[in-house]
Amino acid sequence: MLKIKNLEVAVEGNQILRGLNLEVNAGEVHAIMGPNGGGKSTLANVLAGREEYEVLAGSVEYNGVDLMELGPEERAHAGIFLAFQYPVEIPGVSMSNFLKTALNQTRGARGQEALDAMEFFSLIREKLKVVNMDEKFLSRAINQGFSGGEKKRNEIFQMAVLEPKLAILDETDSGLDIDALKVVSNGVNTLRSKDNATVVVTHYQRLLNYIVPDFVHVLVDGQIVKSGDKSLALQLEDQGYDWVKDELAEPAAA
Amino acid sequence: MSTEQETIEQFTNTEYKWGFTTDLETDLAPKGLTEDTVRFISAKKKEPEFLLEWRLKAFRHWQQMQEPDWPNVNYPPIDFQDAYYYAAPKKQEQLKSLDEVDPQIRETFDKLGISLDEQKRLSGVAVDAVMDSVSVATTFRDELKKHGIIFCSFSEAVHDHPDLVKKYLGSVVPYTDNFYSALNSAVFSDGSFCFIPKGVRCPMELSTYFRINAANTGQFERTLIVAEEGASVSYLEGCTAPMRDENQLHAAVVEIVAHKDARVKYSTVQNWYPGDENGKGGIYNFVTKRGICLGDNAKISWTQVETGSAITWKYPSVVLKGDNSVGEFYSVALTNNYQQADTGTKMVHLGKNTRSTIISKGISAGRSNNSYRGLVRVARNASGARNFSQCDSLLIGDRCGAHTFPYLEIHNKGARVEHEATTTKIGEDQIFYCNQRGIDTENAIGLIVNGYCKEVFRELPMEFAVEAQKLLEISLEGSVG
């Protein structure tokens, strides 16, 4: 589904990703872990198409097309979803209006008919259950006055409505208490299927107790330096990222 | 005979000497503005003498006045002698139904999406369509008549209800008020008149569509709304104009009188030609709108959505004379490209426990300049007066400007006046968030801007709110990137 080859990316002139390689197939859950500043969020944002990220080299192929050629909304239409680390507030725009616009524009781009108000509301009522949220939530302005937990639940709710093929969760666990973490994880697990894939970007192993990954990758200094199964996450939790760094440093020293 | 009357007669006589008879048939006043022009208009409209006199007084006063230079707008000097002050559509007989309307005029209305048929059938709105200064159709007259409501063109009111016109004309905005109101008083061509008798709630929204059509014709509309004790009415004014090359001057006057316990809600969607993307052409819109709460517990509410005109100069105001009376001003003013707007309100608290609310939302895009200018004045005897003002500015791009000029004149120590102001920029973050959910940038800006204006839009009648949202989106097209 996703093939990233030798990707190099700069933000405001600073190179962050330095030759990153990653392959994700349908049905898989990948966890990207690593220390702060390693490039985890950069990877998430560049996949979503954020403008200020400049691709210097490498390629990203998504279902056979060059992803970097697509604008952010075209990527969304193609099934890429980013759960934001810091969801943005948009005053005065209700969640239902926002989601209806998003869903119908996406459906239009896919050659599907727009949903009318009735169809739309019956769909989103169903999806609210996935994240255990009240209907009142739909008339609130996007993320305005939301608690940290509500913002993250809102991201997963939107993901449930838009049904992406490739979901990227950027530090979705940060700032969540254990109950909210369970709700969010439960939402993600409900949406897992053999046809879609999830990339979970996280600093802590904690989230991976709930969203169990098939692969764990360690991202340090703009490169994936180590990959493994879920046990790698536990090892990282135990020994910290310095252990990976030390291991990397050794061959160089030798 | 007084000297004034002598003067009038003198001019009445000279009028024909100057050969105005042929012009009467051509339906177009000669270019320029003199007392003869004023007489021409008045004669053309077969007006009673009191009105001609009033017009002439206004004209003479106007000649003594200077064009105001305090608004935060720039434009080349206007040559008031280089414009036409009266134009009427060719066919001008009285019409009984819409079928009698000139097909070409109806076609234009249809193009603008304001087909009178649709209006009539779907919305139940009585429409008094003003095109090129003269009403071409009035609907629902009979239904309104049953309630004793008068809703007609200003010219008709002058003929059918001269006493009411005489009593209220200029009572809120005297011709001495300002340069443009004096000009309007001298040469106003037509407009709307609305009278709601004591205790009557108007059963439908009253609506007027204005359009500017003939090239180089100054438009001088005059609207007068009177709500007697306990009466209430919601009045809609909306307008669109076709593409134009030359600047067109528009100086309207709207007066509202609300007696004891009366309520008047006045909503405007203004969409005149703003000029092209290089700032060429566009309407100059210098409007005086004012209401007075004459009696206790009266309420006047202005809601405006301003997206058009090259230059807007407009301050819908309320004089709160009656005790416990209420004034409201809700405004969205959008400027794009090279548009300039200097708009706001005046709330003048004279009575006790009077209250006013001001919610102003300015949106600037392109290279436009958008200013809020508002005055809150509390008189010495207006104990218990309260005002809340909120003035927000939204910037799109980095070449536009937003300015806020609040004036507070508080002469009563017990008054409570609050003013809040914010300036924000549409964030790249907000747009990207929308993009990531599949919404393209143009729609994203539409969503964000409409969200920002929500507090004002919810004051608009339903069908107007929908129109206003569409209008904002259209007006912002191409403002990104």
Written as tens digits, the pLDDT of chain B (481 aa) is: 445 545 444 443 333 233 222 333 446 677 788 888 899 889 888 899 999 999 999 999 999 998 888 888 888 888 888 877 776 644 334 445 555 555 654 554 554 455 454 434 333 344 555 444 444 344 566 678 889 999 888 888 999 999 999 999 999 999 999 999 999 999 998 888 999 999 999 988 887 654 344 443 457 889 999 999 999 999 988 755 444 545 578 889 999 999 999 999 999 887 777 777 777 778 888 899 999 999 999 999 999 988 877 888 899 999 999 999 999 999 999 888 888 888 999 999 999 999 999 999 998 888 888 999 999 999 999 999 999 999 999 998 888 889 999 999 999 999 999 999 988 888 889 999 999 999 999 889 889 988 999 889 888 887 778 777 777 777 777 666 4
Read off the amino acid at residue B246. Answer: E
Of residues B467 and A230, which shows the higher confidence score? A230
Q: Say if B298 falls within a structural domain.
A: yes
Q: What is the pLDDT of residue A143?
A: 94
Domain that holds residue B313: 21-426
What one-character DSSP code corresponds to residue B129?
A: E
Residue of chain A nearest B438, judged by CA positions: A73
B9, part of any domain: no
Measured between CA atoms, how close is A41 to chain B, in angstroms? 15
Q: Alpha helices of chain A — where are they, by DSSP H?
A: 40-48, 72-77, 95-109, 117-130, 148-162, 178-191, 230-239, 242-253
Q: List the single residue in B428, B429, B452 with the smallest CB-CB distance to A91.
A: B452
Under 8 Å between Cβ of B387 and B329? no
Asked whether B62 and B179 are in contact (CB, 8 A), the reply is yes
Amino acid, res. B477: E
Same domain, B33 and B78: yes
Interface touch B447/A97, C-beta < 8 Å: yes
Tell me the residue type at B70: W
Residues B333 and B192 in one domain: yes
Shared domain for B461 and B388, answered yes or no, is no
- Are B429 and A88 inside 8 Å of each other by CB? yes
Q: How far apart are CA B134 and CA B191, in angstroms?
A: 8
Q: Residue B137's pLDDT is what?
A: 42
Fold for domain A2-83+147-253? Rossmann fold (3.40.50)
What phi and psi, each to the nearest 5 degrees, are found at residue B29?
Answer: -70, 145
A113-122 per-position pLDDT tens digit: 999 989 999 9
Write out the two tokens for B457: 């839009």
Is B115 inside any structural domain? yes
Say yes or no: B88 and B143 in one domain: yes
One-letter identity of residue B322: G
Scored b (16 or more CB within 10 A) or e, B73-103 reads beeeeeeeeebbbbbbbeeeeeeeebeebbe
If asked whether residues B369 and B443 sit together in one domain, one would say no
Closest residue in A to B424 (Cα) is: A91
Please check whether residue A51 touches B, CB under 8 A.
yes
Q: A101–B439: do the CB atoms touch at under 8 Å?
A: yes
Average pLDDT of span A129-140: 89
d(CA B119, CA B208): 11
**CA-CA distance, B206 to B152, in Å (whole number)?**
10
Residues B337 and B431 occupy one common structural domain: no
Q: Which of B426, B446, B472 is the last residue of a domain?
A: B426
Judge: B438–A91 Cβ closer than 8 Å, yes or no.
no
In chain A, domain spans: 2-83+147-253
- 56-75 in chain A: CB under 8 A from chain B: 71-73, 75
Number of folded domains in chain B?
2
Q: How far is CA A80 from the centre of its chain?
A: 9
In B49-189, DSSP assigns E strands to 126-131, 134-138, 150-153
Residues B398 and B274 in one domain: yes
The answer to whether A210 contacts chain B (CB < 8 Å) is no
Q: How far apart are CA B27 and CA A184, in angstroms?
A: 73
pLDDT at B365: 86
Residues B404 and B467 in one domain: no
Of B394, B410, B426, the position where a domain reaches its end is B426
CA of B360 vs chain A CAs: smallest distance (Å): 15
CB contact under 8 A, B436 and A91: no
pTM: 0.79
User: Cα A137 to chain center, whole Å?
Assistant: 22
Are both B448 and B345 inside the same structural domain?
no
Distances from the Cα of B232 to the Cαs of B105, B149, B235, B264, B426, in angstroms? 32, 11, 10, 6, 39
Q: Are B332 and B451 contained in the same domain?
A: no
Quote ipTM for the complex. 0.95
Note the Cα B387 to chain centre separation in Å.
24
Report chain B residues whose CB lies below 8 A from the CB of A71: 435, 440
Judge whether B16 lies within some domain: no
Residues with Cβ < 8 Å from A242, sequence gap 6 or more? none
Compute how many other C-beta atoms are within 10 angstroms of the C-beta atom of residue B53.
16
Distance from CA of B480 to the nearest CA of A (A): 14
Please indicate, yes or no, whether residues B412 and B440 belong to a single structural domain of this protein.
Answer: no
Give A14: exposed, middle or buried? Use CB within 10 Å, 0-12, 13-18, 19+: exposed
Q: Is A115 on the interface with B (CB under 8 A)?
A: no
Q: Are residues B410 and B473 in the same domain?
A: no
Beta carbons of A51 and B432 less than 8 Å apart: yes
Q: Give chain B positions within 8 Å (CB) of A72.
A: 432, 435-436
| Other beta carbons within 10 Å of B166 | 15
